[in-house]
Structure 1
Amino acid sequence: MPLTAKICGLSTPATLDAAVSHGAAQVGFVFFAPSPRNLALDRASGLAHRVPAQVRKVGVFVDPDDALLDAAIAAGRLDAIQLHKTAPDRVAAIRARTRREVWAAIAVKTRADLAMASRFAQAADRILYDAKTPDSAALPGGMGLRFDWTLLQGHSHPLPWSLSGGLTPDNVVEAVRVTGATSVDVSSGVESAPGIKNVDKIAAFLKALAAL
């Protein structure tokens, strides 16, 4: 199975173009006001028009209401929806209503957290295993945290899945080898500052994967 990558939290033409030109399979647009990667709808629209047809546009949300979803789907021309901190029944409802592919994020710190994935088996299309952030954190991800990748060894996945959380150009090859992931998702690991993507880091991340 081919190894694919999503570069998440893109916000400028230059970094979007870097992700596309170096082979990202998906690009992520964040629609969550507290995030330094939050995209205004007009900016999302401008970026979406730069994305070629073979690259999928994924909108990232934290338990969104229907109004935000509708506006973001239209502006970002979204192909898929990534949901954080969203209950399985709501995930299923969003999937049915929007008729888009849906990714359900699972926050992982211990092996017990992996059991949550089974609750989304009939609700989502893909599981995103991400590192659990502290309870006091304002953001559910994008903080550069990683979890123990060996937790995924031998785990029975209920759906296709992607690995996220603390990935960087320097560790993504190890992460893939440890977990067997065929899909990875990076945000802070290709930034020079929170919310500021770095074209050289994007290139290095995708080149590292291409060498596998």
Structure 2
Amino acid sequence: MPGPMIKICGVTTPDALDATIRAQATHVGFNFFPPSPRFLKLDDAPALAEQAEGRLTRVGVFVDADDAFLADAIVAARLDAIQLHGKEDPARVAALRARFGKPVWKVISVASPRDVAKADAYATAADFLLFDAKTPKGAALPGGLGLAFDWTLLRSYKGPLGWGLAGGLAPENVADAARSTGAALVDVSSGVEIGPGVKNADRIRTFCFNARNA
């Protein structure tokens, strides 16, 4: 059985993207949430989009963005998919999928079995789900904080959509995470960094190797 798909998220530089390509990840995440230390300016997106062309699936990460900003980012980064990490309800998710004609991923923030159950509401609205750790109340960012959740909460999840795992993943635990959850995709951001937003090529390489060989 092949390992899961691998997404390196929050890539902002050509060097980090090159490391992601060389490590044989399958997806790259471009973060378009301005408060994030991994925010990618629209002016910087076209060059990275070109570099990733034909090598990685380009996923744009958004938090309650408006349609105009989404449209600009989709063009600038040549996005292959849209990841929604805010409070977007199923109707909003379905509307964006219809408007832009791109696969839409919805992040489900998890701290309890009730949170996992919320995924069912997106079964016909989204194309893919990403289970992430719920951030503390008052946190400035909805993700990228290196927080994990109890992966056993996903053992009974049998929804109709493909799904991935995010939150607190790192080279040291990704193999166990992939094995214990059976996730179709593993997603990492801060776990392959040596500082906020600063990707490390060695950690990217080790993460991808360990995920593939889980």
Q: CA deviation at 1:9?
A: 0.1
| Residue 114 (structure 2) aligns with | 112
Does residue 203 in structure 1 map to residue 205 in structure 2? yes
Residue from 148, 151, 170 that aligns with 1:149: 151
Contact kept, 8 Å, 2:145 with 2:190, in 1: the verdict is yes
| Residue 62 (structure 1) aligns with | 63
- Gapped runs of 5+ residues in structure 2? none
| Residue 193 (structure 2) aligns with | 191
Deviation sequence 1:86-118 (CA, Å, 0-9, x none): 111111100000000100000000111001101
Contact kept, 8 Å, 2:9 with 2:31, in 1: the verdict is yes
| Residue 123 (structure 1) aligns with | 125
Q: CA deviation at 1:182?
A: 2.2
- Gapped runs of 5+ residues in structure 1? none
| Equivalent residue letter for 2:62 | F
| Equivalent residue letter for 1:8 | C
TM-score (norm 1): 0.97
TM-score (norm 2): 0.96
| Residue 182 (structure 2) aligns with | 180
Structure 1 segments of 4 or more deviating over 3 A? Answer: none
| Equivalent residue letter for 2:45 | A
Report the 3-state secondary structure (helix = DSSP H, G, I; strand = E; otherwise coil) of the residue aligned with 2:109: strand
| Equivalent residue letter for 1:48 | A
| Equivalent residue letter for 2:201 | V
Q: Provide the identity percentage.
A: 55
Contact kept, 8 Å, 2:16 with 2:199, in 1: the verdict is yes
| Residue 160 (structure 1) aligns with | 162
Residue from 93, 103, 106 that aligns with 1:91: 93
Report the 3-state secondary structure (helix = DSSP H, G, I; strand = E; otherwise coil) of the residue aligned with 2:204: helix
Structure 2: distance between partners of 1:104 and 1:146: 18
Structure 2: distance between partners of 1:141 and 1:129: 11
Q: CA deviation at 1:209?
A: 1.6
Contact kept, 8 Å, 1:6 with 1:186, in 2: the verdict is yes
Deviation sequence 1:129-160 (CA, Å, 0-9, x none): 00000120011100000000011112212310
